[in-house]
């Protein structure tokens, strides 16, 4: 158990809908990272927050947004969902934005029908 | 740009044998970190081992060791005395100094046979 929690574990929804994925980092960690794992793209970095502020952006679609709250939990919002958004979404955390190891949560498996 | 290459899509090994999973990387940065993660069929990503580019010794964590050859830009994972529970996908990843993201390879699926 990495100490990173993600909810829900599974999500099934329809095209055009909007969903919210939730992540709680390890106790004491200030950075949260979001990654998407799909069969065709592999593991791709989406976005990072550090202590409530956006720190880095990767291959995140405009339909996707995220935020980190004062209690350091983070949410990833996916809207206008398409079939291709079906993937495993991971949250990871680390203490700072340095070279520390990123510890991953169990992931949320999203299926868009 | 940084890139990680894992050339072995799948590997089959007998239980108790040692196994080496290959990873080569490409970066022009001098300061970087290399990571290995394990992803069992249940889906979670489990951190295994870390090697810094300036570390003089190869990293070891229990049965896992990292064979770091800087000149060849390789960071192979060695698992000694493999166990059935080692069957999983294994990902090599890199992060360069100043960057926040991990860049992952495509992974190697390791199957341990009894």
Q: Which residues of A touch B6 (CB under 8 A)?
A: none
Q: Does A48 contact B47 at a Cβ distance shorter than 8 Å?
A: no
Q: Is the pLDDT of residue A89 over 90?
A: yes
Task: Please name the residues between 7 and 26 in chain A that touch chain B, using a CB distance below 8 Å.
Answer: none
Q: Is B104 in CB contact (< 8 Å) with chain A?
A: yes
What pLDDT is recorded for position B97? 75
Q: Tell me if residue A21 falls in helix, strand or coil.
A: strand
| pLDDT tens track for B43-99 | 999 999 999 999 989 999 999 999 999 999 999 999 999 999 999 999 999 998 777
Q: Which residues of B touch A56 (CB under 8 A)?
A: 99-101
A76 CB-side CA count, 13 A: 32
What pLDDT is recorded for position A99? 64
Question: Which residue in the set A33, A43, A97 is minimally distant from B104, CB to CB?
Answer: A43
Q: Does A109 contact B107 at a Cβ distance shorter than 8 Å?
A: no
| pLDDT tens track for A30-59 | 999 999 999 888 999 999 999 999 999 998
- Mutant choice from B1, B100, B102, B109 vs A, greatest count of A C-beta within 10 A: B100
Q: Is the pLDDT of residue B23 over 90?
A: yes
Q: Is the pLDDT of residue A98 over 70?
A: no
Percent of residues, chain A, with pLDDT higher than 70:
97
Q: Is the pLDDT of residue A97 over 80?
A: no
- 10 Å CB burial of residue A44 (0-12, 13-18, 19+) is middle
Contacts across the A-B interface (CB distance below 8 Å): 56
Which band of pLDDT confidence, cut at 50, 70 and 90, is reported for residue A68?
very high
Q: Is the pLDDT of residue B1 over 70?
A: yes
Question: Which residue in the set B43, B100, B103 is minimally distant from A107, CB to CB?
Answer: B43
- Rounded to an integer, what distance in angstroms lies between the CA atom of residue B43 and that of residue B19? 22
Q: Does A56 contact B100 at a Cβ distance shorter than 8 Å?
A: yes
User: Which residue of B lies nearest to A48 if distances are taken between CA atoms?
Assistant: B100
Could you list the beta-strand ranges (E) of B32-100.
32-39, 46-52, 60-61, 64-69, 74-79, 88-96
Q: Is the pLDDT of residue A20 over 70?
A: yes
Q: What does the mean pLDDT of chain B come to?
A: 95
């Amino acid at each position: 158990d990495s100490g990173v929690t993600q909810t829900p574990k599974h999500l099934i929804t329809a095209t055009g809908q909007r969903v919210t994925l939730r992540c709680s980092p390890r106790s004491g960690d200030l950075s949260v990272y979001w990654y998407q794992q799909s069969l065709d793209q592999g593991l791709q970095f989406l976005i990072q927050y550090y202590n409530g502020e956006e720190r880095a952006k990767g291959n995140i679609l405009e339909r996707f947004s995220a935020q980190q709250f004062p209690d350091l939990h983070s949410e990833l919002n996916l809207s206008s969902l398409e079939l291709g958004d079906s993937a495993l979404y991971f949250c990871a955390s680390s203490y700072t934005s340095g070279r520390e190891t990123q510890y991953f949560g169990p992931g949320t498996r999203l299926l868009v029908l | 740009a940084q890139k990680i290459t894992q050339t072995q899509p799948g590997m089959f090994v007998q239980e108790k044998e040692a196994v080496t999973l290959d990873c080569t990387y490409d970066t022009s940065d001098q300061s970087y970190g290399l990571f290995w993660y394990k992803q069992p069929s249940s889906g979670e990503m489990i951190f295994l081992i870390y090697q810094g580019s300036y570390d003089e010794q190869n990293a070891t964590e229990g049965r896992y060791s990292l064979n770091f050859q800087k000149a060849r830009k390789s960071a192979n994972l060695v698992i000694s005395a493999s166990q059935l529970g080692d069957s999983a996908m294994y990902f090599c990843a890199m992060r360069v100094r100043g960057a926040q993201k991990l860049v992952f390879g495509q992974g190697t699926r390791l199957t341990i046979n009894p």
